[in-house]
Amino acid sequence: MENHVETIKYTPEKAKQNALAKLDLIRKWQEFRRKAVNKLQADYDFVKLHNSSNSYLFTVLGKISRGSLHRWKASLDGTEDYTKLIPNYKYVSVNEYRTCLTDEEIKIFMGLLLHPNRICIGKAIALTKYKLKEQGQSFIPADITFRRYAKWFKDNNYDKWVLARDGEKALSDKVEPYIKRDASLLDVGDILVADGHKLAFQVINPFTGKPCRATLVGFLDWKSTALVGYEIMLEENTQCIASALRNAIINLDMIPKIVYQDNGRAFRAKYFTDDKGFGELGFYGLYAKLGIETVFARPYNARSKVIERFFKEFQEGFEKLMPSYVGSSIINKPAYLKRNEKFHSNLHNDYIPTIEETIKMIDMWLKFKNSQPCTNAPNMTIAEVLENRNKQNIDKSLLDDLMMATEVKTIQRNGVRFLNCDYFDERLYGLRGKVLVKYNLFDLTSVKVFTPKGEYLCTAERVTETHPMAKILGTVEDLEDYKQKIQKQQKLRRKTINSVKQYLSNEEVKVIEQKMDESKEVEFKPHSNSLQTLFKNNSEKYEYLIKNDPDNPWISEFKKTKEYELLYA
């Protein structure tokens, strides 16, 4: 590395001000001297007056001597050209530095300092001095000399410093100028910015029942800066990105014009182990079907800072308030996770929320966030800006392709088993085989069931549990729920029998009907005639007998039961 000092024809502002002050002082001195008889004494008196004053000239020049005045006067050579009072120094440009370090010393030192492993300045100085001694060099510069050169180089070559030590991304984020975009020109829903964020707290994984750090994939409206849709990703699932967009479209009730996100391959590489790019995952077709334009930021340039700022606020204002907060890295993990922190460990609340609880808490925080002022619309909150949008009354069935798909399930007696719950619909009755379940973590009351070929079968509702003794101990709602489920069973049974009748003879059909009659819940043959009357429960039987056969002995027996006491006493 050459270290030539180049003379530059320019005058520093400080040297210029200093020369002008000298000229003014000389003029005052000559005027003072002309009035004096003894010139020598006048010189000493003037110097004494200047050095004891608080004038502007003293502030600039400081203390002077009689010899300085005569030397400056000689430099002017009878003129008033202040430039003759400027010292004839060789001023160097910002690209050069005056140092006693040789080219070889600078080469060794900077080779260590600009290493991508980011060797610290102190260690680079120590290694440089050791190598110089090994080469037999007798004079070794002081540490401060190296440090001053390192500081000058960093201040005047910051782009080279960052690129060499931190890489291209850091160069883009820290050094390169950025374009400021006027978001006030946008409307709500014009552009959604997509990105993902690894949650800094643990949630219960519904698939395994164990704590884990999930990933939040979100879509943020650029105009209002509101997170309009998100999805909680528990494991690697590319469809989670599409599911988050589906939630955004449903919440906005409109289809965005543009989805803007990070470089396709980089966006995927942040959350998935394989290296397929966005264009290889089928998302272009899904977005294009809805009329959405997909725009990617170029690598290391024009990053989607809008949503990154949101995630920073999300971490500071929400994640750190969660009892299951574990930090985003080893550096910022909470005290209770560190070694030998018994005090904090005993105080810590071990509560870990479920996915459903997490979604509710995030929605509550978003409500608070949306009540804050919007940076892109003066005198309006985020919620007010978001409300000023043109809703389109979106049909949710059009968004089924964006729903997150799970693994293949097998149809059982109670439908399909998913997340420790049964989901059933009448159209699954009598089927045994593999189906594809599509769901949304935000609403697990139902799932959509498709054939393995992708044909829609039904929307299966979550099966609820029934009161174990609804007739006696349950409420009216419990009893009604029980009755409806019994009726549904009987309906499905009749459906099967009617279908089977087509394949059997008359005698075989009579046998089936006889067995069905025997399985009825309550059966009674009145005294008055030989007609067989069937009742769904004891209550119907009691009310029938009171009207038609009040002397029946069954009535007195029924009045002794607890069921009668609860219903009629």
> What token pair was written down for 528?
């008055």
**Which residues 6+ apart lie within 8 Å of 536 measured at CB?**
483, 486, 521, 522
Distance from C-alpha of 66 to C-alpha of 432, rounded to nearest angstrom: 112
- Pick the range with the lowest mean pLDDT from 78-92, 196-210, 217-231, 411-425: 78-92
Question: What pLDDT does residue 267 have?
Answer: 61
Q: What is the pLDDT of residues 220-244, one digit of tens each?
A: 999 999 999 998 888 766 778 888 8
Distance from C-alpha of 254 to C-alpha of 339, rounded to nearest angstrom: 51
- Given 3-state DSSP classes, what are the helix, strand and coil percentages for the chain, each rounded to the nearest 5? 45, 15, 40
Distance from C-alpha of 305 to C-alpha of 179, rounded to nearest angstrom: 11
Name residue 39's amino acid: K
For residue 525, is pLDDT > 50? Answer: no
Going from the C-alpha of 52 to that of each of 33, 49, 70, the distances in angstroms are 18, 5, 20
> What token pair was written down for 133?
């001694």
For residue 9, is pLDDT > 60? Answer: no
> How many residues can be counted in the chain?
569
**Which residues 6+ apart lie within 8 Å of 469 measured at CB?**
none
Name residue 459's amino acid: T
Whether the predicted model's global pTM rises above the 0.85 cut:
no
- Pick the range with the lowest mean pLDDT from 151-160, 272-281, 411-420: 272-281
Neighbours of 509 (CB within 10 A): 14
Q: What is the pLDDT of residues 149-170, one digit of tens each?
A: 999 999 999 999 999 999 988 8
Name residue 354's amino acid: T
Residue 217, SS3 per DSSP: strand
Distance from C-alpha of 43 to C-alpha of 69, rounded to nearest angstrom: 9
Among 204, 266, 269, CA closest to 236: 269
